[in-house]
Structure 1
């Protein structure tokens, strides 16, 4: 058995009322793939180093969330919400004719996977989550201050976008963009690996050949991730007790902290297919910095819960290579 090739992909555009959801479908395009969802301010390039380590009998459809990478931004006057993002999952499923979904997410993408699974567990056959289960606990006073600041900055960004003036759009050299990505991730992504996130969000400036724009929607920076009431988290966790669920975290990470202790305990007791593994370190982007260590757990998990012998679901789902994919723009 071989592994996926990073160069064997098809660019896809999944229609949405506000435009389209952009993605790359790697590997097997005859059967339903795993759906890969990146984290906040990232894009599908976040999985670049993990993809070549995955078994080649599967397909992997990695998407850019709305406002990220090459996906369309939502309409002017609207704002981004993590809970609205969850609707992307069933939208992709409906457009491609899937009755079930396999999910792999990092950070925001992992939380989206948790929320969706708790709402529609009967449609999920597998979840792989990197560095998140529930949002981190935030001091209420600090949370209020952050939301207030974000509201004001969101309006400023909205006004700037409404002017549509390239001269007022911030432009950067590639070196400057690399530094911005490293800073955004609080040094979780190294300068050497920032290129994997840059290739989906670089747009040449029409004013200078050596300067570039970020393609993503600036409003994305100002959405907030609401804290989850512990009782609600418990009830959501109860629902996913039968869904194969793999959680991988950095050993010294604060993202999977005290707010996850009760849900993790419940999953360990009630879900025979739950796995929690740690990768040494503090970085939040463990799958990008330490793909081999992550693959050590991801590959056997996929082989157990989506083995080659059961990968084909002919007769149980609609045709998976739909005209919407076959006719998508390359």
Structure 2
């Protein structure tokens, strides 16, 4: 089955790069997970996970710079993000939710092996999934996010998060429209956090799956991501457990650390685990790159060539599958208000 199969009746879309992708909707028990499938559909892709409160548009500038002829990419919106379904009323977003999402996707496509690429939160989820299933993940790519952070104030932070969750959960299921802003204001709201991690020029790549027009105010928009995402997340394991299990992670891994990014914990925790990974992995390709936490979005050319070489080096597993079902191809993509 080829990318241009008439049976699938694919809707092809282009950005200025000319690279092709298609919108897909993958069924999960609480609704659907939406995403973009880049490259051939008859080959198992690299499942690609974005960062906290971002969406799969985070990879719109990086993936076109990679060779998608032999290895495609399925970049998804995590639950509550982008176009993906929100969790039901009363459910909390945490690492277990995202790990199970990967599991449901693997089961849906009946993949014997999984290739993972993630940024920030997506990198953490990819890392833990590899830690849990080291014999199933054939390659791991972590972009400024790998081992989950250990918060020394974990107990008090969890209590605050639960209190915030109750407020946000009530707000989500009320009829009240979220606060609305002009497009320029929204760009600033995406740009300013985390020391301007997302450049103003690249904010549309995050916004275009993340906003809807206000019904109350002309020329204003509101964020459509689930407000419950604002409630923090906790690590599933201790530092000692991460150190112990890193010894079992023998597969190839590419770990990128951006110099202007933060560690969000005592940085020695990261390097302790990294030292173990360098000994256990058949190829622990760790590199520093210039740029902010969202360097893969702002300046993807700085990392693309090295990342491509890593993928080529380890693209040795059989990626053939039965193709994607026409049922998951989504031809009714939500209108973009930023890419006309």
- When the two structures are superposed, what TM-score results if normalisation uses the length of structure 1? 0.89
Q: Measure how far apart 1:312 and its partner are.
A: 5.2
CA distance in 2, matches of 1:80, 1:294: 30
Asked if 1:148 corresponds to 2:156, the answer is no
What is residue 88 of structure 1 aligned with on the other side? 101
Change (3 A) 1:251 1:188: same
Q: CA deviation at 1:161?
A: 2.0
Q: Where do 1:198-217 residues align within 5 Å?
A: 198-217=207-226
| Cα gap change, 1:172 to 1:260, in 2 (>3 Å) | same
Q: What's the secondary structure of 1:195's corresponding residue?
A: helix
* Deviating more after overlay: 256-265 vs 112-121: 256-265
Question: Does residue 246 of the first structure (1) align with residue 254 of the second (2)?
Answer: yes
**Superposition map of 1:9-48 within 5 A:** 9-48=21-60
CA-atom RMSD in angstroms = 2.1
Corresponding position: 1:72 with 2:88: no
Matched-pair contact (CA < 8 Å) for 1:182–1:188:
yes
Alpha-carbon deviations, 1:61-116, whole Å to 9, x = none?
10000000110000011111122211111111111221111100001111111111
Whether the aligned pair in 1 keeps the contact of 2:181 and 2:222 (CA below 8 Å) is yes
Match of 1:157 in 2: 168
Contact 1:13–1:328 under 8 Å retained in 2: no
Q: Which 5+ residue runs of structure 1 have no aligned equivalent?
A: none
Q: Which of residues 190, 212, 216 is equivalent to 1:181?
A: 190
| Secondary structure in 2 matching 1:239 | coil
110-119 or 265-274: bigger deviation: 265-274
Question: Do the aligned partners of residues 323 and 97 (structure 1) sit closer, same or farther apart at CA in structure 2, a change above 3 Å counting?
Answer: farther
Residue 127 of structure 1 is matched in structure 2 by 140
Q: Distance in 2 between matches of 1:137 and 1:68?
A: 24
Q: Is 1:271 aligned to residue 284 of structure 2?
A: no
1:171-191: CA deviations, max 9, x gaps? 111111111112334411111
Deviations, residues 166-225 of structure 1 (Å, cap 9, x unaligned) = 3xx211111111111123344111111111100111111122330111111000110323
Corresponding residue number in structure 1 for 2:322 = 319
Gaps of 5+ in 2: 1-14, 334-340
The SS at the match of 1:12 is: strand
More helix by share: 1
- Tell me the SS of whatever aligns to 2:135: helix
